[in-house]
A and B are shown apart, each in its own frame.
Chain A
Amino acid sequence: MEEASVKLLELTDVTIRFGGLVAVSGLTFHVNPGELVGLIGPNGAGKTTVFNIITGVCPPTSGSIVFSGVSVGGQRPYQITARGISRTFQNIRLFSSLSIFDNVRTAFNLHLKNGFFGSVWRGGSFRTEEAEVRREALELLEIFGLAAYADLPCRSLSYGDQRRLEIVRALATRPKLLLLDEPAAGMNATEKLELMKLIQFTKERFGLSVLLVEHDMKVVMGICERIAVIEYGRKIAEGTPAQIQKDAKVIAAYLGEEASDARS
């Protein structure tokens, strides 16, 4: 994808302050359509805060966020999701009392035509829509190998499968941009490999752009096309994985010895 093409997500000079603490400062950065971008940085660098800014959980103190040509700064999270940004969470946040199927179908709410009265009246259009939602949700679950367990409580899934279900749920909102917050956290080496395949597969299958926050360098370097590095809320480098690995600032800030190990 060319730099010059229309950007899907564009953050310009975004700053957020929590009282005296400047969590993110003057961040400018973008995601192109169909791109897989990594956002890395040491602990407390502000990665998750950037996610929270993009998804509307914490509106920025200043700066602009433009998604598909529309400014989304200051909008509520559900409005931003409706525009096509969906996310997963660092600490899994499934709807714990609901079944796997219900977790997914809840995310279809956004596109429902039948609201309160339709759901109580249960007319023809409601039943058609409900069947449609069921079909689509099961189809999504099928793709990720979870359809067989659709009616089980989501708590009964293994940790890796719960992360997978979060991705399915995020996809059910029909996003254009998927934000993954540390999807590899707590996974072992095999699971991480599977995850990398899964992310790339998801991106191709649904024609998405993906923004990935991740601590695990193998995962980030393995699948990202472009990486932005932040430290203390400022962007210190941006480039391809190869460029980032050689970047002196990045090595100093973050990769340290691990980076030199990786190169040797």
Chain B
Amino acid sequence: MKSKISLLIAVLFFGWLSFCFSGHREASWPLPQFDGYLLSILILIGINIVSAVSLNLVNGHTGQFSLGHAGFMAVGAYGSAWITLIHGKEILSLMGVFVSMPAECLFLIALLFGGLFAAVTGLIVGIPSLRLRGDYLAIVTLGFGEIIRVILQNSDALGGARGLAGIASYTTLGWTFGVAALAIYVVGTLVNSTYGRGFLAVRDDEIAAEAMGINTTKYKVVAFAVGAFFSGLAGGLYAHFIGYINPEGFNFLKSVDVVVIVILGGMGSTAGVTVAAVVLTLLNELLRQTEQYRMIVFALLLIVLMILRPQGLIADFGRLLPWRRRA
């Protein structure tokens, strides 16, 4: 039964992917025509799903509290923008000969490059810092995020504090939700396998996990690298959606935004975090009417939600699904 569901997810994912290759920024059939504002909210929702689901693998499933998520997003955003902006023309002319959709291929290459670059950064940061626990790890990852930002601010090749402008708008609804589906699929299948239960074991009791033959360091580093990879993808999508990135956009507060989604959705619940990403992104937009009080209302809602649902919005989502009731 489970494998059928994963198959379904895979089919849906490839459906989205082919759909997104239609090449228009606006959504086409089977979705209705959205106006630009609604479309941009939907894309933001998708990007937030990607970054929250991937952070959840680190913070929620593996229990390693990281506050440096924006750093990985920045690496992915700059990495992918570097490809499309600086090498875009060469690659396009090179590929125009071989493939029918050079722009999409270029974007795919750029996204993957950004993601992999972020994953490698994740490895480099993770291997030394994952020896630390709890608060200490949080501080180290926080520091890492700031380092990335300061480096970007001072690197003239990447625009310095002015940032990079004029990034091509490759991000479509299809791309965004294709990547979101991929993130959900990877994290979901991973955690629901015998191998992936190791992540949860590491979170629950590191000493016992180690005594049961689980290489806890390796698990933590893998979680960190996978999380970084998808944050990198989220960053790439963001860069090619907004069209302009600067280091300030990936500051500490950006990391906190994602952490808030994860905590609100329920640490370790992929479904909960996905819903929270939708709810919080929408909430952010709905509260625009309250103007300067927006952040106050936002914070109050968070406090109320945390009091009412400390375990997250739908931490026990699995029980609601008929095919999970057995497990």
Contact = CB atoms under 8 A, between A and B. Distances in A.
Interface of A: 55, 57, 76-78, 81-82, 86-87, 89, 93-99, 102, 105-110, 112, 114-116, 118-120, 122, 126-127, 129-130, 133, 151, 169-170, 172-173
Interface string B130-173: 00000000000000000000000000000000000000000000
Given A94-B204, A114-B195, 7 more contacts: A94-B205, A95-B200, A95-B201, A109-B194, A109-B213, A119-B189, A127-B3
A98 B194 contact: no
A107 B212 contact: yes
Given A78-B215, A82-B213, A116-B222, A94 B208 contact: yes
B214 A109 contact: yes
A87 B211 CA distance: 7
A98 B197 contact: yes
B197 A106 contact: yes
Q: Which residue of A89, A107, A173 has the most chain B CB atoms within 10 A of its CB atom?
A: A107
Contacts of A97: 200, 203-204, 268
Contacts of A114: 193, 195
**List of 8 A-B pairs having minimum Cβ-Cβ separation, nearest first:** A110-B213, A119-B193, A81-B213, A93-B208, A95-B204, A77-B210, A107-B212, A119-B195
A57 B214 CA distance: 13
B326 A151 contact: yes
Given A57-B207, A95-B201, A151-B327, A133 B194 contact: yes
B207 A106 contact: no
B211 A81 contact: yes
A55 B194 contact: no
B278 interface: no
Interface in B163-201: 185-186, 189-190, 193-198, 200-201
B216 interface: yes
Given A76-B210, A116-B222, A98 B201 contact: yes
B327 A93 contact: no
Contacts of A110: 212-214
B211 A130 contact: no
A151 B325 CA distance: 9
Contacts of A129: 194
B194 A112 contact: yes
B209 interface: yes
A95 B222 contact: no
Contacts of B193: 114, 119, 122, 126, 130
